Amino acid sequence: MKKKIAEIIREKSSFEIITHEWPDADAVGSSTALAMALVALGKDFQIVNSTPTPEHLLLTPLPEKNSKFEIRNSKFPEVSLLLDVSDMGVIGEIKPKGMVVVIDHHATNQGFGDVCWADSRMSSTSEMIYELLNALDVEITEQIATNIYMGIFGDTGGFVHPNTTKKVFEVAKELVNKGANPNYVADKLKKNKPIIYYNILCLVIQRMSVKDGICAAYVTSEELRDLNATPEDASGIVEELASIAGVELAIFLRDIDSCKAHCSLRSRNTNAARLTAQAFGGGGHDKAAGFSIQGRAKELAPVVFKEGLRWIQTA
Ligand code: 5GP
Ligand code: MN
């Protein structure tokens, strides 16, 4: 499938790059690296996302679009490249305009679009982009290496999660050889949290319950408002809950607005995170998954706890 996608990229001339809502390091790293490769190949492209790219993930300038595309191609774009997208539900309001080509590593990707390269053995979509660029003979510049390294670092939790394979280290070594700076990337991703994150964490830690191997907590929209925070400011908190000794499943719910909530799940040894997320219509990876649902975080917390308990007991 990688070869087929390389062929499509060689043959076609106009592309749009789309990734999931609230892009993370892998989404931004893979999109930026591929956009830079399209520039090198002389292709017309545009990056299209439904929510803004977080500033702290812009380690290099973001090539937003090739300015020549409007002049050169009236049928723009021929191809829509969906990166780190497990299903059409995660791209928000965006409607792909071209032939849909998916590159993704989520376990819950069932295969969709016109061409789909989905491989859950890959640590990250960024690792897949690294392979694709090699297949295309694109030079891995320092900027491309930095973005791919960032994506791998992000999705392996800084070379911590079970997707940290021997191959990941081999690719990381090649990227460092090309100019990626491990300390710079780690500093931007791990030591760059705003104070507001700790304000929310403080509240969450006081509230969390640890029982039967599950740590569960939530934050309401009223609390976020009182702290002058957005729901996005609470991303990453689930990792703190999952770091407590003996916790098999971490559940963290946050209100998105007055009628919608998001749940983040992490499991240690079982697939309980994915199985619990899927029970509520979500998805992700075996040990890191999530879902969005109608309702309030506070009321949903015991319901998700009960479902999670079922899965860690049967796994
Ligand atoms: P988190 O919720 O912690 O941001 O995301 C953890 C993982 O779960 C990510 O890999 C993400 O792709 C997946 N995930 C989170 N929310 C959803 C969702 O609503 N639907 C699907 N399919 N996956 C999700
Ligand atoms: Mn990813």
Q: What is the pLDDT of residue 156?
A: 97
Same domain, 157 and 256: no
**Residue 157 belongs to domain spanning:** 2-190
pTM reported for the whole predicted model: 0.93
Q: What is the pLDDT of residue 314?
A: 87
Structural domain tally of the chain?
Answer: 2
pLDDT reading at 73 higher than 80? no
Q: What count of Cα atoms within 13 Å lies in the side-chain half-sphere of residue 193?
A: 15
Same domain, 103 and 212: no
For a ligand 1 pocket test, name from 50, 86, 163 the mutation site with the most ligand atoms within 8 angstroms of its C-beta. 86
Among the listed residues 199, 261, 273, 257, the one whose alpha carbon sits nearest the alpha carbon of residue 229: 199
The last residue of one of the domains, among 158, 190, 222, is: 190
Residue 51: CATH number of its domain: 3.90.1640.10
Rounded to whole angstroms, how far apart are CA atoms 198 and 142?
33
Instruction: Indicate if ligand 1 lies below 6 Å from the C-beta of 242.
Output: no
Same domain, 180 and 211: no
The last residue of one of the domains, among 190, 214, 241, is: 190
Q: What distances in angstroms separate CA 247 from CA 124, 266, 288, one per listed residue?
A: 25, 10, 14
Residue 282: CATH number of its domain: 3.10.310.30
E-assigned strand segments in 35-151: 44-48, 79-83, 99-104, 115-118
Residue with the bigger pLDDT between 76 and 14: it is: 14
Same domain, 106 and 142: yes
Instruction: Indicate if ligand 1 lies below 6 Å from the C-beta of 266.
Output: no
Q: What is the pLDDT of residue 71?
A: 47
Q: Whose CA is nearest to atom 20 of ligand 1?
A: 282
Interval 98-143: pLDDT, tens? 999 999 999 999 999 999 999 999 999 999 999 999 999 999 999 9
Q: What is the mean pLDDT of residues 34-40?
A: 96
Interval 293-305: pLDDT, tens? 999 999 999 999 9
Q: What is the pLDDT of residue 219?
A: 98
pLDDT reading at 69 higher than 60? no
Instruction: Indicate if ligand 1 lies below 6 Å from the C-beta of 90.
Output: yes
- Specify which residues 253 forms β-bridges with: 218, 263
How do 283-284 and 288-294 pair as beta strands? antiparallel
Same domain, 113 and 204: no
pLDDT reading at 201 higher than 60? yes
Rounded to whole angstroms, how far apart are CA atoms 244 and 215?
8
The last residue of one of the domains, among 190, 207, 233, is: 190
Amino acid identity for residue 112 in this structure: F
